[in-house]
Amino acid sequence: MQYTWILVVKLIKQHQRYQSMTDFIYEPYKKIHVHDLIKMSLDDLVSMISTLESANAYWAEGVLFVSFSISESDELGKKEIEGETYLDRVVFCKYDRYTKTAKSSTNVEINVINVQTSHLYRDLVSWLKKQSVWNE
């Protein structure tokens, strides 16, 4: 009986060792550098996105958009760790309401992902609406 009890205690301790949780730390970007902002018509945006390997657009706060990162490098990796990232460009159009897909006048259709709940994307759209290109 004592041997069984010792074995049970060892199994419990071993199980507890594998049950430890990983610490997760939320660290939003401190800075995002955007090199180019491109406003397009819905037709042009849908047409462009449909030619990409991943044909998805994002929607938040009345804007349909896609962003393109700069090719990764060791230096950019270091910047990421420091809380900075670089976007080559953000391409967008005004799109009042969220819909699961967006369709051009030529019936080309793309998927739309609702990122309204993301603080990062809401901040991006808020910043975008303050840029001169927004009113062009």
pTM of the model: 0.78
> In sequence order, what DSSP letters do the residues of 14-55 get, joined into one string?
HHHHHTPPPP------SEEEE--EEE--HHHHHHHHHTSSS-
pLDDT by position in tens, the chain (length 136): 455 556 555 656 666 665 667 888 888 899 999 999 999 999 999 999 999 877 799 999 999 999 998 888 888 788 888 888 989 999 999 999 999 999 999 999 999 999 999 999 999 999 999 999 999 8
Report the C-alpha gap between 40 and 87 in whole angstroms: 18
